[in-house]
Chain A
Amino acid sequence: MATPNFAQDRDSAPAAIEVRNLVKRYPKSASNAVDGVSFEVGRGEIFGLLGPNGAGKTTIIGALTTFIVPTAGSASIMGFDVAHRPIDVKQRIAVVPQQSNLDRSLKVREILTFHAAYHGTARRQREMLADKLLEELGLGDRKNEKVNRYSGGMSQRIMIARALMHEPDVLFLDEPTNNLDPQSRLFLWERIRDLNAKGLTILLTTHDMDEADRLCQRIAVMDHGKILVNDTPRELKKLIPGGTVLEVRAYARPTESTRAGELLIAALRDMPGVTKVDEVADDAPEPTQAGAGQFGGPGAGRSPAPVPPQSSAPANEPGILSYRVYADSANALIGPVAQAVVSCGAEVRDLSVKQPTLEEVFIFLTGRHLR
């Protein structure tokens, strides 16, 4: 596992979030909603909880925010046990829930100032802070309206502003971008990164693999109340056996291309760490395109998990050879593959490494069946 940058804080101060063997069984339920979960979130980290519906994510957030009493095990925030020191915990956390729970009887600015008043912030300071946050979140000109008139994206922004009013140490975001348009989502992502850069610890839950990939320094994938894996997005993607892909395009003279292709395919299959080699048509859709790297569009990663094409009949222009090589480490194969192409009497046109998406990891870990 990669060393997170908060390691130096560990000796001096307790972790931002610490969960030890947490169990929650609801009354009349046959199984545990959360079943012996342990994890730790360092100060200043963005930590993602991923999992299908009913995996136990919201229950964990409930336990960490004092709304749910653990059946067994313990959880603490900034060193304060959630069950025994709830008031200390409440002072240090802020929660942005899935659905708006804004106080609709109040005007937007009052939502912020009253929130701070509940937390004991003095009048002058809470008014200054409210104006500042409203400005920064682009709500300055609507501060005297009531919430009813706001869209989902605006409600979300108000909830974030409200969450920051009492200067929390840990922010909980429960599926923050679930119902947002792409603009609001991008805006929110920027704010989340800003806040984190200023030292706020953030725990977020999401189904959106792209979101998790972009924001989280570490991710725990949950299912059936248990954490299956807990690691950096980069490491998680290595979990899929032969999960990285090297795509190679080469050119051989049309008269020699059939033989060159046979030689090349054999050479590729012999290389260390290679699990599969597919011959592909040039115009075939690229299975891993959606979440390639970290820079896909906002919609990336939400398409169904791609299935590698089963030896689709190559229909390339004469002389073009195109293969997809699945391997444990595609990067290590770049040199050998280039050499192999040349030694088969062809020339390299294109070589590229594709990362598997978190979505593939997720499906790999939790299966395809519906919840």
Chain B
Amino acid sequence: MADTISPPLPITGARERTGGRAGLALNAFFAMLRRDLVVTGREFIPFLLQALMQPLFFLFIFGKILPGIGLAAPHFATLMLPGIVALTGMIAAMQGVTLPLVLDLGYAREIDDRLLSPLATWWVPLEKVLFAAIRGTIASSVIFPLGWLILSTGFAVRSDRIPTLICMVILTALVGSTIGLLMGTVIKPEQISLMFTLIFTPLLFTGCTYYPWGALGNVRWFQVVTLFNPLTYAAEGLRYSMVPPFGGHDFPTLGVSWILVALGTSVVLMFLLGTRTFLRRVVS
């Protein structure tokens, strides 16, 4: 061990070397993103298992077994696959930000290091949201090869709306990560399990994942309820871009422009609310 400690303060400190304010902030922002990617990359298999276990069984039971034993129509898998893609992307994105934030803001405070970086504080939730959206997008994407493997002949995705599909997958992940941000900033560590049940379960079952929205016409009140769940728009958007035309007709979904408006609004609103509560939690 050396006798003395390194001197701080040579005249060329980091701040003198770096460019302007924006350059400094971007630098820090990308370093944070790189940190999150490095950490996720290191536990990539656990991440995939966590994100994919549930959709895998859903696909298998609802897409393969139930139609196989005659309890579901054969094309049920085609309608459910987009719902599974939406749900997987959204949950994976939420998980990428909610739990870490709850623990960080609750007591671990590992995030302080980033809060003391030379950028405005709102960049930190922005980075969290973008990173979680990357997780969600990856998880959603993996559903396609998995679905192809599990559903085999039941796997049907139209190929003429790929750009819309990509856009929907990314938007869905962003919806998940911004909701995750808001949840992560309002939930206290001691409430985690309760809140997950209270929020996840309704989100899961009112989100039109396992049934198309249009099919709810006979249960009007429930059809209206589902419109308040962003997952409904994500699932319908993915149905719009994935379900092949049947008998020369597109499968009826919610209007695609309404879907985009709803998803976009949700992302912006949740991000603003989440960032506001985030700032309140870290700066008093």
Q: Is A199 among interface residues, defined by CB-CB distance under 8 A?
A: yes
Q: Is A68 among interface residues, defined by CB-CB distance under 8 A?
A: yes
Of B20-28, B197-205, B235-243, B244-252, the stretch lying at the interface with chain A is B20-28
Of A93-101, A269-277, A297-305, A311-319, the stretch lying at the interface with chain B is A93-101
Q: Is A115 among interface residues, defined by CB-CB distance under 8 A?
A: yes
Q: Are A199 and B24 in contact (CB under 8 A)?
A: no
Q: Are B1 and A117 in contact (CB under 8 A)?
A: no
Q: Are A101 and B110 in contact (CB under 8 A)?
A: yes
The listed residue (A62, A110, A120, A138) touching B24 by CB distance below 8 A is: A120
Q: Is A289 among interface residues, defined by CB-CB distance under 8 A?
A: no
Q: Is B194 among interface residues, defined by CB-CB distance under 8 A?
A: no
Q: Is B13 among interface residues, defined by CB-CB distance under 8 A?
A: yes
Interface string of B14-36 (1 = CB under 8 A from A): 11011001011101100110110
Q: Are A135 and B283 in contact (CB under 8 A)?
A: no
B5 to chain A, nearest CB (A): 5
Interface centre among B5, B34, B114, B119 (most CB of A within 10 A): B5
* A contacts with B, residue count (CB < 8 A): 52
Q: Is A164 among interface residues, defined by CB-CB distance under 8 A?
A: yes
B interface, size bucket: 35 or more
With A102-B110, A106-B39, A120-B17 already in contact, the answer to whether A67 and B115 are too (CB < 8 A) is yes
Q: Are B4 and A114 in contact (CB under 8 A)?
A: no
With A26-B284, A101-B110, A198-B9 already in contact, the answer to whether A90 and B39 are too (CB < 8 A) is no
Find chain B residues with CB under 8 A from A191 CB.
5
A269 to B112, CA, bound (A): 59
The tally of CB-CB contacts under 8 A between chains A and B is: 129
Q: Are A95 and B116 in contact (CB under 8 A)?
A: yes
Q: Are B8 and A168 in contact (CB under 8 A)?
A: yes
Q: Are A90 and B6 in contact (CB under 8 A)?
A: no
The listed residue (A120, A136, A199) touching B14 by CB distance below 8 A is: A120
With A91-B118, A120-B118 already in contact, the answer to whether A101 and B2 are too (CB < 8 A) is no
A45 to chain B, nearest CB (A): 14
A282 to B106, CA, bound (A): 56
Q: Is B113 among interface residues, defined by CB-CB distance under 8 A?
A: yes
A110 to B205, CA, bound (A): 42
Q: Are A118 and B117 in contact (CB under 8 A)?
A: yes
Q: Are A118 and B113 in contact (CB under 8 A)?
A: yes
A191 to B13, CA, bound (A): 21
Interface string of A162-204 (1 = CB under 8 A from B): 1010111100000000000000000000010011001110000
Q: Is B120 among interface residues, defined by CB-CB distance under 8 A?
A: yes
Q: Are A199 and B8 in contact (CB under 8 A)?
A: yes
The listed residue (A69, A87, A136) touching B118 by CB distance below 8 A is: A87
Q: Are A200 and B9 in contact (CB under 8 A)?
A: yes
Find chain B residues with CB under 8 A from A106 CB.
35, 38-39
Q: Are A97 and B17 in contact (CB under 8 A)?
A: no
Q: Is A103 among interface residues, defined by CB-CB distance under 8 A?
A: yes
Q: Are A200 and B283 in contact (CB under 8 A)?
A: no
Find chain A residues with CB under 8 A from B115 CB.
67
Query: Whose C-beta in chain A lies nearest to the C-beta of B120?
Result: A87
Pairs A-B, 6 closest by C-beta atoms: A117-B31, A118-B117, A120-B18, A101-B109, A198-B7, A167-B13
Q: Which residues of B contact A (CB under 8 A)?
A: 1-2, 4-10, 13-15, 17-18, 21, 23-25, 27-28, 31-32, 34-35, 38-39, 108-110, 112-120, 282-284
- A sample of 13 more A-B contacts (CB under 8 A), given A119-B15, A137-B5, A167-B14, is A93-B116, A101-B113, A105-B39, A106-B35, A117-B27, A119-B14, A119-B28, A122-B17, A129-B6, A136-B4, A136-B5, A164-B8, A200-B8
